[in-house]
Chains A and B, each alone.
Chain A
Amino acid sequence: MSTIQETAAEAHPANIDVPSKKNMGLGRTASWAMLIVLALLPLFVRNFVIFQMTMLLIYAIAVLALNILTGGSGQFSLGQSAFYAIGAYTAAILIEHGGVNYVLTLPAAGIICFAVGFLFGFPALRLSGIYLALATFALAVAMPQLLKLGVIEHWTGGVQGLVVTKPDAPFGLPMSQDMWLYYFTLVVSLAIYIASVNLLRSRSGRAMMAIRDNEIAAAAMGVDLSIYKTLAFGVSAGITGVAGALGAIAVQFVAPDSYTFQLAIALFLGMVVGGVGWLPGSLAGAAFIVFVPNIAEGISKGLSGAFFGVLLFVVIYLVPHGARQGAIYAETLFNKLKRS
């Protein structure tokens, strides 16, 4: 209401609150242990569990993308489901209408989503915090209707959506389709994870984090705000698009109503649970959004929304840094044990 804010620090708290820790990754031992578990586990479980683990990795990529945007550059997006949908549709249309190999659809989805995200990011230059959340919220809500548009129905299949054929394992490898897709997804997510950690460690990453911590100070030090903010938005959208493409291949089906605002809520929740600004937490967040709804639906149908909501409140009140807090706690415990 007033044109004079009493104290900026009090009236306008920082966008996000990230505990200071130089490294955005995970310790070396823990990383290798995690990778070995992820690589070996599918050999011992049923096909359906392998499918669930594939979805886990896919959501982890999407959560990671949001984490780069929010944890990295301090901007919000409630519209990640829209980019996920664009990626999924890109892959589905290329495979079904264009006959393109599924491997090639991933970079295509990534590039298209990067472009869309970059363009949508232009308004983001002028929007801060809450306004960006608002614009992306509207994008997420409007997306299913956009996909149902009559003009592009020939390509998108309208309300019915598209069925995508599942790829076989190449070179005659003795693997089920699910297992092949799992390892394929694992390689893609590993590549994206390593690239993201390096991105945030690079000059660009430091510039983004400077913007996150204090926009005005960053600008004063010569960081080009508009470039880096749009870039963060584009990269995040691009990675989400790759996740969406993988999701379309894994689920073998795309339809407008699979990409509603509920998906955006889930991804947002995954980021908060995993710990904002801590990339390995994306895996924990993804595990949360894949497995918790199953448990909740087991108790009562339609309960998962309420369950998500209540847990989100629990997390922001009790463990505001999400899984990262748990990891830091475990690390100190481990070090203590080693010393004694």
Chain B
Amino acid sequence: MELFINQVLAGISTGAIYACMALAIVMIFQAIDHLNFAQGEMAMFATFIAWQLMQWGVPYWWAFLLTLAISFAGGVIIERLLFKPLAKAPILTNVAGFIALFAIINSVAGLIWDFTIKQFPTPFGSSPFLGSQLISTHQAGMIGVTLALLIALFLFFRFTRIGLAMRAAAAMPESARLVGINTGWMVALGWGMASAIGAIAGILIAPVVFLEPNMMGGVLIYGFAAAVLGGLTSPLGSVIGGFLVGIFENLVGTYIPGVGNELKLPIALALIVIVLVVKPTGLMGHTVVKRV
């Protein structure tokens, strides 16, 4: 029983990271109807920036905040420069754009910081949390930061004018434009926020998976699995999906023999395919009805 609780809690803590990635993916999907295949690489790059700042002697939390600001600006710039001109282009062109971004960021990170594995510090320490052996302080910290982030995002979208405008721009761009919302900038803002959320995920997971240019590959796949499970049209669903996928991953790895680390990615693949086949809208998404 203790093993079970232990694994569920560990699942929740990695699930928190998947929830962040899924949320970032869903935010961009809502804004422009495309999946950002470079989301993981953007998060990885942000994590490297945080690491570099700390190497220069910036204290952890300052580096954290600075990195968020840089990622936000980076997301906005990428949208303005590269993807705004593609807004009306066919899907293929957009997919090609994301793939290109993926390749560029991955390769540039390798060029600047090379491909050796680096340690990443954690501000929470790794001692047992509140004296219990079930969960470490870093895992508890991951859950805590994610929950704080989710509450902040909820308040932002529910109670601020910009949050409302962003929701309007995502839901009905034409009508939003008619009532005076600058939908173009709302999309850019969405990109910036998604990029910053991804950065948080990267910084939190880096002490666990270690820092290197390919660190987010698996995390991104699980993020996609979470987003699909929760429903690509529902931010809340994607967060719940993230936690579920995290727990699922840990339990499967513990209780089904033969499924160790080596099968982690195929499990995510199977999960994505199964959800898309059985219930393409996910747990909380809704069907998008097209008028022809």
Contacts and interface: CB of A to CB of B under 8 A. Distances in A.
Between B34, B108, B114, B292, the greatest number of chain A beta carbons within 10 A of the residue's beta carbon is seen for B292
A145 B273 contact: no
B54 to A, nearest CB: 24
25 contacts: A1-B171, A3-B286, A4-B289, A6-B173, A6-B174, A11-B33, A13-B89, A13-B90, A17-B93, A70-B92, A129-B91, A130-B35, A130-B91, A135-B273, A142-B268, A145-B264, A145-B266, A261-B217, A268-B96, A268-B99, A303-B111, A305-B107, A308-B100, A310-B100, A310-B104
Interface stretch (A146-154, A161-169, A325-333): A146-154
Contacts of B224: 134, 137-138
Contacts of A276: 92
Interface in B104-148: 104-108, 110-111, 114-115
B272 interface: yes
Interface stretch (B4-12, B80-88, B241-249): B80-88
Interface stretch (A191-199, A233-241, A313-321): A313-321
B157 to A, nearest CB: 12
B86 A316 contact: yes
Interface string A123-139: 10011011101110111
B164 interface: no
Interface in A244-263: 261-262
A218 B217 CA distance: 38
Given A131-B276, A141-B221, A316-B96, 5 more contacts: A13-B89, A142-B221, A145-B265, A309-B101, A316-B97
A133 B35 contact: yes
Nearest to B280: A126
Between B114, B225, B266, B289, the greatest number of chain A beta carbons within 10 A of the residue's beta carbon is seen for B266
Given A142-B265, A305-B104, A4 B111 contact: no
Given A126-B280, A145-B266, A312 B99 contact: yes
Interface in A202-253: 216
Interface residues of B, number: 65
A18 B35 CA distance: 22
A146 B266 contact: yes
Main secondary structure of the interface of B (DSSP, over half): helix
Interface residues of A, number: 64
Contacts of A315: 96
B90 A14 contact: yes
B95 interface: yes
A267 to B, nearest CB: 11
A198 B107 CA distance: 40
A7 interface: yes
B92 to A, nearest CB: 4
A76 B95 contact: yes
A11 B174 CA distance: 10
B2 interface: no
B262 A123 contact: no
A323 interface: no
Contacts of A123: 273, 276-277
A78 B221 CA distance: 13
B103 A145 contact: no
A63 B30 CA distance: 32
Between A1, A135, A150, A300, the greatest number of chain B beta carbons within 10 A of the residue's beta carbon is seen for A1
Nearest to A2: B171
Contacts of A304: 107
Interface in B211-249: 217-218, 221, 224-225, 228, 233
Contacts of B108: 305-306
A76 B30 CA distance: 21
Given A6-B172, A13-B90, A306 B111 contact: yes
